[in-house]
Structure 1
Amino acid sequence: MLQFRNITALLALVIVFYSCQEKDYSNLIQDGSYQFAAQDQLTEIIIHDIFSPPVASRIYAYPSIAAYEVAVLAGDDYQSLMGQLNGFEKADFDIPEDVYFPLAALAAYYKVGTLLIFSEELMNEHKESFYKSLKINGLPDRVFEASLILGEQVADHVIAYSKTDNYAQSRSFEKYSLTDNPNAWQPTPPMYMEGLEPHWNKIRPFVMERPDQFKSLPPTTFSTEVGSDFYREAEEVFSTVRNLTKEQSDIAYFWDCNPYKVNVKGHVMFAEKKITPGGHWMGIAAIASKTAKQDWRAAAETLAMTSIALFDGFIACWDEKYRSVLIRPETYINKYIDEEWLPVLQTPPFPEYTSGHSVVSNAAAETLTWLLGDGFHFVDSTEVAFGLPIREFESFRLAADEAAISRLYGGIHYMPAIVHGSTKGKKLGEYLVQKVQSRKEKIAVK
């Protein structure tokens, strides 16, 4: 009987011993899937809160930079963006002994991202669900707390940086004033909204020296004379829309990305919320990272660099939009060619030249090509959530070309806005990858 009791006691001690052993949590987060999920949630909130495309690019950028800066601390092969981005001062961080860097990166992402949106509770719910899953899967409390401490340190530094970009001040700048100039942009149906973000060129860029660094050639000289260059550009939009093929129509809708679309049926008006152009390309960046099977640090780099390209792309584009303040095809065609004509897509509420899709798509494409190479095949499923099918591309540059020409198919841009916008975006992307180095060993420009 005594021997049985001794064996029972020994078994109890063994059970207690093994139950006290920590689970191996080192592989809980290996790739970028958790950051992609956080980004997807941020996208949902951007749609929910109806942020404009330029503002959305800012919301993506700062949390992505914060997550990347934590990834830099996890090894010696990546290089901080501090001291490389305009006004981003260097800082030292106290790294706790028990830190789990992938969690610290996500903590930084959540904190910065939550500060930039309205619906904070939606982001907090997502964060808490993620934290709970980590604890269930064996992440010790001491590691959890240490990781949050580092994440918040980095987040606070990035938040302080974000507050110096002139965004808060720009919220009180005067609205755009309409003019009687016949070539000037006018609000378009059905909502006739005022011009959005007329002072976006006052926001500090991340890499450009000034907003007009990649200034485009002026738009074609305005004319209502039949046969003039400008009239022919409008006719091209008019005839393209009237003779649109199914493939061209599919391309137009796939790249619509208009968060302001308002549907009118009789006396009823209702909004249709959509992803922004920047949100589409951040989605592509996540898809590409998954396709390349990047680890969590490389994924953080991909998202950060893409977001920087998009952010500066909107500044460069909006600088030109409110300098040329060019009339939209819908307004011109209805007045001088056919008053019944309608574009395929709803015209967004800001001037025509240059095309925002053309600029930011090419800036993002050049950046992703630098990171992942040309000839990178990917399946773009970003729009599936909005009822559209997938599209496949053999390179980021080909995807950018399609995004750009989609604006002609949609009837909302003349060709020069597409051509010169694409040139601007490519130049910006090339400049970004030359100026900013995210690796200690320089990545060769592809």
Structure 2
Amino acid sequence: MKRVLLLLLSISIFTGCADEKSTPKETVAISAANYHDVLDKITNVMVHDIFSPPVASRIYSYANLAAYEIVAQHNPELESLTKTIGADITIPALDTTKAIDYKMAALIAQLEIGKTLIFSEVEITDYSDSLFVNWKENDEDVFINSKEYGMQVADAFKQWIDKDNYKQTRTMPKFSVYTENVSRWQPTPPAYMDGIEPHWMKIRPFTLDSSSQFKPERHPEFSMEKDSQFYKELMEVYEVRNQMEETGNKSEEMAIAKFWDCNPYVSTQRGHLMFATKKITPGGHWIGITKVASQKANLDFDKTVYAYTTTSMAIADAFISCWDEKYRSNLVRPETLINKFINDQWKPVLQTPPFPEYTSGHSVVSGASAEVLTKLFGDQFQFLDDTEVPYGLPEREYTSFRDAAKEAALSRLYGGIHYRAAIENGLDQGISLGKHVVTTLNVKTL
């Protein structure tokens, strides 16, 4: 009798273990939140590595587009954007005979492209490995297949990216400074850095026919005559700064200027010591706004990737368009003229970025981004922008993306680093470009 009971018990235990072992594990659930997290990681690494605004826009656009092309193959409602723009790239077909998690593959491609284009590769590698361990434990076959496909897409993108002329611009001459011409841009304090990315207009765009397609209206003719339009705009910068100083650091203008600073490398000098205060770029701020909008609209994974991708492509083209004009007009910054002719002790609220004045990069990028986001989310989309909270600044509320873009553009006057023409004409330049991106990519309302 005891032997029978022991035998039955052994069979029961064995059967129970067999049943438990044969039960398939639940695959990891990847959501829009995971995509936000990965893009945040890439942003944080870019801040650490101190990428210039144009270069940062290149990283965002390629990383997002690589992920999107995988999503588009799975979702019949989405079109291939590389095909839409006629890109010279062949996206490997999704093998439907294999168990592939397309979301996992998209994140893997995004991370791989991000790692390829930044400096601190180990940061992305460590982050990726932590994700991979979890995914592999949940379903090893799905992980292996998804990783294989994601890397195939990333490899195709690497070949295409390699042809965008970025590497060639690394070896082109630095920007020449002509000190005898007072109207031309000069390096500004405190670091007196060379003009950054003087050949950025040579980078391959996504939707533009050429870098000069949206060439803005000419800025007022340079003149230090007191009745000239140029001199009046110069004095406006000087007087606005003085008025802000009188009201103290708690004015609304001061808050706006600092909120939209977005200078990735602010040099601070303490005696013989100079160090950097790192921040996101203007494009990074609008990527942050895209995150805010996507979360408020409760977008799913596919739509989140779509929103980021179309917006980042607009940002990238905006920098190409803006930099084309900056180094064509090569206009001197307000700080240089005010210190030379009006008040040698005057300082702007914000540190003057190291490149020519016209047009305002914030204005062009904000105008373009706002047009794409307006198409995606609607004209009266209210949101609370918390993008700058990690950098010690409070949230700001906006009634629309265009409202935010106008404030971002005007912040450059309050910051003391741009004339009004660069702000207003730059915003028009960005709006025109943004509408072009919406039409070219056939951006859909989410």
Bin for the TM-score computed over the shorter chain = over 0.9
CA distance in 2 between counterparts of 1:163 and 1:188 reads: 33
CA distance in 2 between counterparts of 1:392 and 1:101 reads: 35
The secondary structure found in structure 2 opposite 1:243 is helix
CA distance in 2 between counterparts of 1:408 and 1:100 reads: 48
Q: CA deviation at 1:4?
A: 5.2
Confirm whether residue 267 of structure 1 aligns to residue 272 of structure 2.
Answer: yes
Give deviations 1:166-187, integer Å, cap 9, x for gaps: 1011100111101121110000
Q: CA deviation at 1:92?
A: 4.0
Confirm whether residue 336 of structure 1 aligns to residue 369 of structure 2.
Answer: no
The secondary structure found in structure 2 opposite 1:264 is strand
Q: Which stretch has the larger CA shift, 184-193 or 285-294?
A: 285-294
CA distance in 1 between counterparts of 2:385 and 2:135 reads: 30
Question: Which residue identity is paired with 1:151?
Answer: G
CA distance in 1 between counterparts of 2:82 and 2:205 reads: 14
Q: Which stretch has the larger CA shift, 83-92 or 113-122?
A: 83-92
> What RMSD over aligned residues (CA atoms) do the two structures have, in Å?
1.5
Where structure 1 has 5 or more consecutive residues not aligned to the other structure, the ranges are none
Confirm whether residue 227 of structure 1 aligns to residue 232 of structure 2.
Answer: no
Closer, same or farther: CA 91–264 of 1 in aligned 2, 3 Å: closer
Confirm whether residue 19 of structure 1 aligns to residue 18 of structure 2.
Answer: no
CA distance in 2 between counterparts of 1:214 and 1:75 reads: 33
CA distance in 1 between counterparts of 2:167 and 2:222 reads: 36
Question: Which residue identity is paired with 1:149?
Answer: E
Q: CA deviation at 1:346?
A: 0.2
CA distance in 1 between counterparts of 2:313 and 2:86 reads: 11
- 2:177 paired residue number: 178
Question: Which residue identity is paired with 1:157?
Answer: A
Matched ranges for 1:362-373 at <5 A: 362-373=367-378
CA distance in 2 between counterparts of 1:94 and 1:298 reads: 19
Q: Percent identity?
A: 46
Conserved? CA contact 1:68–1:301, under 8 Å: yes
- 1:346 paired residue number: 351
CA distance in 1 between counterparts of 2:283 and 2:328 reads: 22
- 1:163 paired residue number: 162
Q: CA deviation at 1:100?
A: 0.6
CA distance in 2 between counterparts of 1:88 and 1:419 reads: 36
CA distance in 2 between counterparts of 1:94 and 1:134 reads: 19
Q: CA deviation at 1:17?
A: 1.4
Question: Which residue identity is paired with 1:120?
Answer: E
The secondary structure found in structure 1 opposite 2:82 is coil
- 1:149 paired residue number: 148
Give deviations 1:6-65, integer Å, cap 9, x for gaps: 144224312331233123326x113x2112111111111111111111001001111100
Give deviations 1:253-297, integer Å, cap 9, x for gaps: 111011121011233221111111111111111121111111111
Matched ranges for 1:31-430 at <5 A: 32-95=32-95, 97-136=98-137, 138=138, 140-179=139-178, 180-244=180-244, 246-430=251-435
CA distance in 2 between counterparts of 1:367 and 1:313 reads: 12
CA distance in 2 between counterparts of 1:347 and 1:45 reads: 24
- 1:6 paired residue number: 8
Question: Which residue identity is paired with 1:10?
Answer: S
Q: CA deviation at 1:337?
A: 1.8
Conserved? CA contact 2:69–2:91, under 8 Å: no
Structure 1 ranges of 4+ moved more than 4 A: none
CA distance in 2 between counterparts of 1:92 and 1:60 reads: 21
CA distance in 2 between counterparts of 1:63 and 1:297 reads: 15
Question: Which residue identity is paired with 1:313?
Answer: A
The secondary structure found in structure 2 opposite 1:398 is helix
CA distance in 2 between counterparts of 1:267 and 1:106 reads: 44
